[in-house]
């Protein structure tokens, strides 16, 4: 068995060693993450596990003085309070099974004693933690550890293990992970799939301790005060970016405050509203970022430091803004809705590389999943004691099938004078949110004064979207018919896939296109929407409800009447409509 044993181990040993040398971790099976680093998890994205490449697990958890002495394994499950003794005993059995398989058919008394000795030695090197307590597998299985009382146990989402194992025995890790999964399911709980592993650095130094939660420095320590000051600075920047639409625009605003007499502030007042600008300056004054002089505002020392920080870290701050937009939590609203659309999306059948299934006569014919097939064959050959890998039909895994309905969204914005300030910022935020979360094409058409123009053609590029939105400056009349016609022409010219037209306005059309009646022209244009098989979503406010009901009916679209056009109501409405269309 010696040649086979070495042949079998080398594949896994080389595989894991290569990843660990790169400070990276791996996913074993569906639920287990393994690395030599600290792991983290955001409750908002339970399927995403972070591996902090600059945080050694041995140093963090066990206060080791050297790196890479221990491996860190987490097996994820639904929130549960697991019995650590039961989990430890299942792991003990898994280790024993591993050594029995390793020794083959030899059942002599000497071999049995050797297996017992090896099992105990490894069990003493594995530290386990669940909501019920923590300790070595040996101590927990022998009940030599004082457990946490059941009433005091808090649900956790993973079984946490630390252990040191020779690379020659990395294949024992598979038996340990399988034992933990069985222990979780035998206690009546579901294991949870790990969707994605993200390698990153931890921005803040953490304090050692047992458990996956990362602690912060003491509240009154210099480190904590420095951290809070940094967080306050970031919050001010995020507020400015929200007020002005982007970090770049916020940085320009800070530069405008640096000029003598604030000569460039007038441009910001025109775009964002004089009242909003005054409120922003008041907030900055309260935060000791600016101070009001006799004739103008000036930056304080803190304000100058903030301006320089924004200038030096603009790219990183923009990434933070994009991240916050992606993770925006939708707030459900009450609104009136009128539904007229029965248009369904057209779907395409694609190969799903995240889903595999066994090959059988009824399975969809797809590409063979080669890694999964080899793993399946290797596991079967190992359990059958075969000296080399032999692939049979029952080992073959194929990729599954998924339906995909791409939705290209065109947002038509009323950019008349009444949309200045918060309303136009909310629409801009909606466009950014959709581009970053759906990863599909978004376009923006603005209609104002006597014309409409394509502000952003269909794109997946975030910078192009921002550059286009920055050119929008609300003023003048509402040429709704021209806005609809321009949107339809753009959708047809670019051959948009399952086009969704989102029409946002807070008023009634007051500039015509073909006749002298602006409302009749808008209804005539709306009829063109249904004729071109475009799904329409109208969002309006109470004063224009009656006309918008007629417009949505003619265009065979859905209408939502909201209390106000803010980012919460817009993102809520359009997200629901987009999902209904995509999965209809």
> CATH for 409-582, among 3.30.70.2740, 3.30.56.10, 3.40.50.410, 3.40.720.10?
3.40.50.410
Distance CA 125, CA 496 (A): 59
556: left (phi over 0), alpha (psi -120 to 50) or beta: left
If one counts every other C-beta atom within 10 angstroms of the C-beta of residue 543, the result is 12
User: φ, ψ for residue 27 (rounded to 5)?
Assistant: -100, 130
Residue ranges per structural domain of the chain: 2-200, 222-326, 355-404, 409-582
Q: How confident is the model over 270-316, as pLDDT tens digits?
A: 666 656 777 788 888 888 888 887 777 888 888 888 889 888 888 88
Q: In terms of Cα–Cα distance, which of 511, 412, 417, 500 is closest to 456?
A: 412
Q: How many CA within 13 A on the CB side of residue 133?
A: 21
What is the value of pTM for the model shown?
Answer: 0.55
What is the mean pLDDT for each group of 10 consecutive residues in the chain (584 residues)? 49 78 85 91 80 89 85 90 91 90 62 86 92 90 86 86 88 89 84 86 47 35 61 80 82 81 65 69 83 81 88 86 78 82 79 73 66 84 83 82 82 89 87 85 92 93 89 88 95 91 92 92 94 93 90 94 87 87 77
Q: In terms of Cα–Cα distance, which of 451, 447, 582 is closest to 503?
A: 447
Distance CA 104, CA 288 (A): 74
CATH class of 222-326: mainly alpha
Residue 191 DSSP code: B
Distance CA 564, CA 107 (A): 78
In this structure, the strands spanning 26-28 and 32-35 are antiparallel
> Alpha helices of 506-582 — where are they, by DSSP H?
518-531, 545-554, 567-582
Question: If DSSP codes are grouped into helix, strand and coil, which group holds residue 525?
Answer: helix
> Matching CATH topology for 222-326 and 409-582?
no
Q: How confident is the model over 478-506, as pLDDT tens digits?
A: 999 999 999 999 999 989 889 999 999 98
Encoded tokens for 171: 């294949």
Encoded tokens for 383: 């359990």
Angle between helical axes of 274-286 and 265-272 (0-180°, round to 10): 120
Distance CA 411, CA 413 (A): 6
If one counts every other C-beta atom within 10 angstroms of the C-beta of residue 491, the result is 23
Count of residues in the chain:
584
């Amino acid at each position: 068995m010696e040649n086979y044993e070495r042949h079998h181990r080398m594949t896994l040993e080389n595989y894991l060693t290569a990843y660990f040398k790169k400070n990276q971790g791996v996913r074993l099976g569906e639920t287990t993450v393994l690395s030599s680093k600290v792991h983290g998890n955001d409750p908002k994205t339970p399927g995403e596990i972070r591996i902090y490449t600059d945080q050694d697990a041995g140093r963090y958890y066990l206060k080791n003085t050297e790196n890479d002495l221990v491996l860190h394994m987490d097996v994820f499950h639904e929130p549960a309070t697991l019995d650590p003794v039961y989990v430890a005993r299942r792991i003990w059995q898994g280790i024993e099974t591993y050594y029995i398989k390793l020794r083959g058919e030899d059942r002599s008394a000497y071999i049995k004693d050797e297996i017992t000795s090896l099992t105990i030695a490894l069990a003493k090197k594995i530290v386990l933690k669940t909501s019920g307590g923590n300790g070595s597998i040996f101590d927990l299985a022998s009940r030599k550890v004082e457990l946490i009382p059941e009433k005091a146990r808090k649900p956790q989402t993973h079984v946490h293990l630390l252990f040191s194992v020779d690379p020659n025995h990395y294949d024992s890790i598979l038996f340990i992970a399988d034992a933990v999964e069985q222990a979780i399911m035998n206690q009546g709980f579901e294991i949870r799939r790990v969707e994605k592993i993200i390698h990153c650095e931890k921005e803040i130094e953490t304090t050692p301790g047992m458990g996956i939660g990362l602690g912060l420095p003491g509240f009154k320590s210099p480190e904590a005060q420095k951290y809070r000051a940094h967080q306050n600075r970031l919050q001010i920047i995020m507020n400015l970016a929200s007020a002005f639409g982007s970090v770049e625009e916020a940085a320009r605003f800070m530069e405008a405050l640096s000029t003598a007499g604030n000569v460039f502030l007038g441009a910001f007042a025109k775009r964002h509203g004089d009242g909003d600008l005054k409120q922003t300056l008041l907030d900055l004054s309260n935060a000791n970022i600016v101070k009001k002089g006799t004739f103008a505002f000036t930056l304080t020392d803190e304000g100058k430091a903030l301006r320089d920080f924004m200038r030096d870290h603009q790219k990183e701050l923009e990434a933070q803004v994009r991240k916050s937009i992606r993770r925006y939590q939708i707030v459900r609203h009450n609104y009136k809705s009128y539904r007229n659309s029965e248009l369904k999306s057209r779907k395409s059948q694609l190969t799903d590389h995240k889903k595999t299934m066994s090959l059988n006569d009824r399975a969809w014919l797809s590409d063979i999943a080669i890694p999964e097939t080899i793993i399946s064959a290797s596991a079967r050959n190992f359990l059958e004691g075969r000296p080399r890998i032999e692939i049979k039909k029952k080992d073959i895994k194929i990729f599954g099938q998924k339906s995909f309905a791409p939705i290209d969204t065109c947002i038509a914005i009323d950019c008349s004078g009444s949309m200045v300030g918060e309303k136009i910022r909310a629409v801009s935020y909606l466009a950014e949110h959709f581009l970053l979360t759906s990863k599909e094409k978004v376009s923006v058409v603005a209609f104002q004064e006597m014309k409409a123009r394509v502000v952003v053609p269909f794109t997946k590029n975030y910078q192009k979207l921002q550059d286009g939105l920055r050119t929008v400056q609300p003023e003048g009349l509402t040429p709704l018919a021209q806005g609809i016609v321009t949107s339809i022409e753009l959708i047809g010219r670019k051959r948009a896939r399952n086009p969704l037209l989102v029409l946002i306005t807070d008023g009634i059309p007051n500039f015509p296109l073909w006749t002298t009646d602006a409302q009749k022209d808008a209804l005539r244009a709306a009829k063109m929407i249904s004729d071109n098989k475009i799904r329409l979503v109208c969002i309006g406010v109470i004063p224009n409800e009656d006309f918008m009901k007629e417009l949505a009916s003619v265009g065979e679209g859905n209408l939502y009447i909201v209390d106000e056009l803010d980012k919460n109501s817009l993102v809520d409405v359009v997200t629901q409509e987009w999902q209904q269309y995509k999965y209809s």
